[in-house]
Amino acid sequence: MLILYAAFHGVSRTLIRVSTPGKVTLFGEHAVVYGEPAIATAIDRRVRVEAERRGDDLIRIEAKDLTLAGFKALLSPNGSITLEGESKKVLAAISYVKRAVELIQEKYSVKRGAHIVITSEMPVGAGLGTSAAVAVSVVKAYSLLAGIELNKDECAELGYNVELSVQGIASRMDSTTVAVGGILYIDPKAEKTYEGIACRRGFEGLVVGYTNREASTGEMVERVKRFRDDVPEIVTPLINVIGEVARKARTYIEAGDFQRIGALMNINQGLLEAIGVSTSKLSQMVYAARCAGALGSKITGAGGGGCIIALAPGKEYEVMAALRAIGVSAFRASPTSDGIKVEEG
């Protein structure tokens, strides 16, 4: 339980409950940084934030279960959470909450005290958009507590600013996807920067495998940038092809052609290998999933450790078993149309 202090003013509702989904990137990570389209989807694992009015001007933040029970064993060999690593992650999570509250306070000149409790069904720092979900949830919950009604796009934009200010580098893809929900086609160069994609047959069969990160998102983005600066005649066309894969994938998702979606995931994985963001473990996970029957599998997120996704309709359990057999955590993750949700209490 950690406590932060801030000034306080005024009263509105007494208890707000907000939940926001995590996300996976289906296509286009890294290339989206250079203006290429990407496809991400909100998944049915959520971050929950409760914000309760306080009688004073304090902001009290409680981070309850920021890892899934299933991941605890992985993160520490003896089955319990290693204090060093976890407390750092919890502190990092707290800084998103703190910045989200500050942003609302600055922007809308409110100084309301609140008790904010955060729980997460996803591992933190794994590339599943947990930090974006925390930022967006707190923006929504704390602003509502102050009587301010923000729509999903506004929450996404403020969530993006929170991430930017905490991390120094951020992508609008994460905050938009978790705030809006659904499968989104993100095109940084288009007038409409995102559009929902409707999958004709419903989109099922996603499995997420998770291993420890060896490098942060920022480090991985920086590594690709240096690589591009070094051999632009090779890396620039690779980034363009990743964009082309995302464009093609959109049409296959709309058609519900899972075989072809899987094939494109495998191409995208090769391109991520080519730009140097895979690792021995991620590659092993990708092949374990394919050998267990996945139609396609790839890194999701920045790479350098973290998560893979596999598309394995009807073979989810086989793929999860194969991933667990090589010592990594795995869970099903269905796309969800629910973005940020408020349950008033």
Q: Is there a contact between 31 and 38 (Cβ–Cβ < 8 Å)?
A: yes
> Which listed residue (57, 174, 187, 229) is catalytic?
174
Least separation in angstroms between residue 292's CB and a second copy is: 11
Among residues 19 and 268, whose Cβ is nearest to a second copy? 268
Among residues 270 and 293, whose Cβ is nearest to a second copy? 270
Q: Is 212 in the site for a second copy (CB under 8 A)?
A: no
Is 174 assigned a catalytic role? yes
Q: Is there a contact between 254 and 200 (Cβ–Cβ < 8 Å)?
A: yes
Q: Is 274 in the site for a second copy (CB under 8 A)?
A: yes
Give Cα separations from 273 to 19, 25, 68, 147, 285 (angstroms): 34, 16, 28, 48, 13
Size of the site for a second copy (CB under 8 A): 32
Distance between CA 187 and CA 273 in Å, rounded? Answer: 23
Q: Is 241 in the site for a second copy (CB under 8 A)?
A: yes
Q: Is 267 in the site for a second copy (CB under 8 A)?
A: yes
Distance between CA 118 and CA 137 in Å, rounded? Answer: 9
Q: Is 270 in the site for a second copy (CB under 8 A)?
A: yes
Residues 6 or more apart whose CB falls under 8 angstroms from that of 212 comprise: 74, 75, 305
Q: Which residue has the tokens 């950690």?
A: 2
Distance between CA 30 and CA 63 in Å, rounded? Answer: 30
Least separation in angstroms between residue 296's CB and a second copy is: 11
Reading the block at residue 67, the tokens are 């890892």
The contact pattern for a second copy, residues 286-305, with x = CB under 8 A and - = no contact, is -xx-xx--------------
The DSSP output letter for 304 is S
- Judged by CB under 8 A, the stretch of 120-128, 179-187, 210-218, 262-270 that binds a second copy is 262-270
Least separation in angstroms between residue 100's CB and a second copy is: 38
| Among residues 244, 250, 300, 328, the one that binds a second copy under rule CB under 8 A | 244
Residues 6 or more apart whose CB falls under 8 angstroms from that of 169 comprise: 217, 218, 221
Least separation in angstroms between residue 300's CB and a second copy is: 16
Least separation in angstroms between residue 65's CB and a second copy is: 34
Among the listed residues 135, 106, 99, 105, the one whose alpha carbon sits nearest the alpha carbon of residue 118? 135
Distance between CA 219 and CA 30 in Å, rounded? Answer: 12
| Among residues 238, 295, 309, 340, the one that binds a second copy under rule CB under 8 A | 238
Distance between CA 288 and CA 113 in Å, rounded? Answer: 49
Catalytic residue annotation: 174
Give me the residues that bind a second copy (CB under 8 A), please: 231, 233-234, 237-238, 240-241, 244-245, 248, 263-264, 266-276, 278-280, 283-284, 287-288, 290-291
